[in-house]
């Protein structure tokens, strides 16, 4: 069994174990004979054991996590193997193989999930899916250079399917801007994905493409996210005028539905790639399955760079 085959079977194996025996469950004692005095209750020991497992990791401090989060993280450390290829669990790799960058990134992701209350079984599944995704077939997107930021020859291209009325897309915007500004090896490309549930999303996406054709996509993009609560036609014309675009021409384009077919094609493209919500991010054609933060974006880029350097494989460890 090759490395990626073994990774792909981790998820169903974890699901089976979760359905049959929860590791956190307390085993039931067999019934005692009548008249026998009950055994004294065992002293809880999970917190102390968890603290020992997650402590003394060189260069990493998990003491800020609460006892419950430490217990979940300890389970991940002892039950999950490091994806660097060494024969160690994640916890053992952190302590015995200090040069491993994979282990530190994995531990940081796991700690963030544990801190948010995610159980260890789900964290392990998320890590398994995420690392398996690097070896899966990538999506090939034909991006429009006018909708991209960063160098065209960047080693990592992040494609974002986004909706101008989606509050989560608005929240992602500063994170993505920070990523591109701080990582010259990253290029960000926008693909519109207006959702039917948002009444002004289609008009806003058309306004964005109108601005693109006049060299003003990114100013219009930012202006619309800043005015997300009001993206009616009158407001779109105001925003266009503020950035130097002819509002009357925009009105005509919106009325005629000039960009409707292009937007329908973009949505169909996204749906075929597995987009079911916004924002949806693809890192070199690989759908990002992690929670969206500046840290997880940076981790995904670091993993992708290492994957590319290894010729679409992890470097020998």
Question: Which pLDDT score is estimated for 310?
Answer: 83
Question: Which pLDDT score is estimated for 18?
Answer: 28
Cα–Cα distance, 306 to 303 (Å, whole number): 5
How do the domains of the chain map onto residue ranges? 3-16+46-133, 145-307
Superfamily of segment(s) 145-307: Glutaredoxin (3.40.30.10)
Question: Which pLDDT score is estimated for 317?
Answer: 55
CA nearest neighbour of 165 among 280, 281, 278, 294: 278
pTM of the prediction? 0.79
Q: What is the residue-level pLDDT of the chain in tens, covering all 317 positions?
A: 332 222 222 233 332 222 222 233 333 333 343 444 444 444 344 455 566 788 888 889 999 999 999 999 999 999 999 887 788 899 999 988 888 888 888 999 999 999 999 999 999 999 999 989 999 999 999 999 999 999 999 999 999 999 999 999 999 999 999 999 999 999 999 999 999 999 999 999 999 999 999 999 999 999 999 999 999 999 999 999 999 999 999 999 999 999 999 999 999 999 999 999 999 999 999 999 888 888 889 999 999 998 988 888 876 55
Question: Which pLDDT score is estimated for 34?
Answer: 40
């Amino acid at each position: 069994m090759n490395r990626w085959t073994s990774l792909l079977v981790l998820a169903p194996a974890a699901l089976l174990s979760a359905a049959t025996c929860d590791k956190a469950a307390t085993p039931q004692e067999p019934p005692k004979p009548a008249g026998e005095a009950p055994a004294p209750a065992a002293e809880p020991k999970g917190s102390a054991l968890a603290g020992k497992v997650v402590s003394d990791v060189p260069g990493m401090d998990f003491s800020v996590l609460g006892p419950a989060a430490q217990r979940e993280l300890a389970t991940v450390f002892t039950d999950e193997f490091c994806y660097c290829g060494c024969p160690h669990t994640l916890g053992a790799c952190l302590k015995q193989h200090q040069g491993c960058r994979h282990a530190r990134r994995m531990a940081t992701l796991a700690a963030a999930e544990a801190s948010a209350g995610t159980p260890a079984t789900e964290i392990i599944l998320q890590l398994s899916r995420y690392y398996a995704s690097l070896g899966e077939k990538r999506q090939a997107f034909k991006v429009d250079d006018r909708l991209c930021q960063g160098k065209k020859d960047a080693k990592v291209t992040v494609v974002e399917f986004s909706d101008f009325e989606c509050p989560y897309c608005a929240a992602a915007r500063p994170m993505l801007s920070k990523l591109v500004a701080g990582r010259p090896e990253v290029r960000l490309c926008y693909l519109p994905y207006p959702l039917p549930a948002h009444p002004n999303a289609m008009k806003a996406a058309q306004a964005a493409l109108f601005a693109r054709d006049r060299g003003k996509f990114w100013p219009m993009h930012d202006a619309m996210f800043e005015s997300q609560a009001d993206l009616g036609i009158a407001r779109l014309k105001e925003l266009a005028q503020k950035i130097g675009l002819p509002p009357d021409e925009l009105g005509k384009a919106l009325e005629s539905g000039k960009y409707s077919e292009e937007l329908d094609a973009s949505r169909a493209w996204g749906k075929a790639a597995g987009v079911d919500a916004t924002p949806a991010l693809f890192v070199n054609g690989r759908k990002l399955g992690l929670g969206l933060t500046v840290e997880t974006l940076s981790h995904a880029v670091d993993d992708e760079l290492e994957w590319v350097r290894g010729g679409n494989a992890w470097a020998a460890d």
